[in-house]
Amino acid sequence: MPGVRSLQWLVPGACVLMLSGCNPFNEAEPMMEEYLERLGRVLDTPPVAIPADLPEASTIPRRRDRVLDMPDLELGMLDFMSLYGCELQYVVGERNSVMGRVMQPLNRLRYEVRFIQAAEECVTQVDDEELEQTLLSAIESKQTTLPIAMWNATWGVEEVERLLTLSKGFYPVAPDVNPVSELTRDLAQLNQTVAALSAEQFEVPLDDLGQIHQRWQAEFRAGQIINSARLLTATLDAGTATIKARLEERPLCLNSRPNNQSEIVRNFFFNIYIGEIQPYMSDVSRARDSLIVALAELADRQRDVMPESFERWYQRHLSDQAEVSLWRQLDRAMMEHTRHWQDLLAQCGMRPG
């Protein structure tokens, strides 16, 4: 019957869908749980699980602790300049408007740059020595405080909190496209902009920075990478403890001669650890080397104005040099886990290179 034949085709398809949906290697946390469970079984050791408390991580400091106070010129000086007939008059007038007094950090940065450019142009037009000195003093003041405006327009914006949130799970497993490519390009541009402004190259365009912030608002990949680093560290440390416990018992092989159990362990090593876990470790490492490193560069370029509360967060979550660095912790966990695998397989003359 046609209906029966249709069901015959549907049932196997439904089974495939169910099986694929239950594949523990499709998502990060089930993958790590499956790895530790199988590792205990093939090594005939007590089962271990991912610790309930992953390595420490925290959200980026609150915005009120990140935003720096932005000094301004004396009101009398601004009023004086607003009356003078050059482009600076209109720039200052915009700042003195109702909207200008509540500028968002990015608009404030644009204003500061426009002020410097307009004041420098104005200096060439004046023939009053007192006014010229006033303008030069204003330019020097604005150049001194420009790093604060840059910091507030990068690390002081609300959108960066979304990019670094820890509430959106883990970095995806085997994504079809690079999830951080666009964010990495954005940060490369942003780092170039900060470098140019720091070198007093004020003609650098600032129009695209708003779009970069919008993408930060729509993405959360940096936080996912941090979460995955914590998950991998906890998993690898637990797995290393399992292998170490096995190494302290009877050798896997006598006289380095392979046996049935060693073949099972070897197949597990290549099929699961090399075939499933290491590709995910590589994906997370590549994402770290592009996105997290670019964020660290953005912070490093502005160390002179970095708040102390942010400095502590930076050392843990972005830096790869600090003693408390999450990334140094992950590197150590990966190295230790690989070394213990090598020692275990060496008992059977199967040490991998």
Q: In the Cβ-directed half-sphere of 281, how many Cα atoms lie within 13 Å?
A: 21
Average pLDDT score over residue span 75-96: 68
Whole-angstrom distance, CA of residue 110 vs CA of residue 44: 64
What local confidence, expressed as pLDDT, does residue 241 receive? 96
Q: Determine whether 219 is exposed, middle or buried from the number of CB atoms within 10 Å of its CB (0-12, 13-18, 19+).
A: buried
Residue that has been written with the tokens 């499956």 in this structure:
34
pLDDT band for position 128 (cuts 50, 70, 90):
confident
Q: For 214-224, write each residue's pLDDT tens digit.
A: 999 999 999 99
Which residue ranges make up each domain of the chain? 28-67+161-353, 69-155
Across the chain, mean pLDDT equals 89
* DSSP 8-state assignment for residue 245: H
What local confidence, expressed as pLDDT, does residue 130 receive? 80
Higher-pLDDT residue of 81, 139: 139
The C-alpha angle 289, 295, 296, rounded to 5 degrees, equals: 80
Please determine, for residue 6, whether its predicted confidence score (pLDDT) is greater than 70. no
Whole-angstrom distance, CA of residue 258 vs CA of residue 227: 39
Average pLDDT score over residue span 243-263: 92
Question: Is residue 30 a contact partner of residue 299, using CB atoms and an 8 Å limit?
Answer: no
Whole-angstrom distance, CA of residue 310 vs CA of residue 313: 5
Q: Determine whether 85 is exposed, middle or buried from the number of CB atoms within 10 Å of its CB (0-12, 13-18, 19+).
A: exposed
The C-alpha angle 87, 90, 92, rounded to 5 degrees, equals: 105
Q: For 254-296, write each residue's pLDDT tens digit.
A: 888 999 999 999 999 999 999 999 999 999 999 999 999 999 9
What local confidence, expressed as pLDDT, does residue 144 receive? 95
Q: For 144-171, write each residue's pLDDT tens digit.
A: 999 999 999 999 999 999 999 999 999 9
Q: What's the token pair of residue 247?
A: 């190494």
Whole-angstrom distance, CA of residue 92 vs CA of residue 39: 68
Q: Output the DSSP codes for 65-112.
A: HHPPP-----HHHHHHHHTSSSHHHHHHHHHHSTGGGG--HHHHHHHH
Please determine, for residue 9, whether its predicted confidence score (pLDDT) is greater than 50. no
* DSSP 8-state assignment for residue 216: H
Q: For 47-80, write each residue's pLDDT tens digit.
A: 899 998 999 999 999 999 999 999 887 645 655 6
Going by C-alpha positions, the residue among 150, 173, 176, 3 that lies closest to residue 67 is 150
Whole-angstrom distance, CA of residue 331 vs CA of residue 337: 10
The model carries a pTM of 0.89
Average pLDDT score over residue span 333-352: 94
Q: Long-range pairs for 28-32 at CB < 8 Å and ≥24 separation?
A: 28/169, 28/170, 28/171, 28/172, 28/173, 28/228, 28/231, 28/280, 29/170, 29/231, 31/173, 31/276, 31/277, 31/280, 32/231, 32/232, 32/234, 32/235, 32/277
Q: What are phi and psi of 328, to 5 degrees?
A: -65, -35
Q: What are phi and psi of 178, to 5 degrees?
A: -70, 115
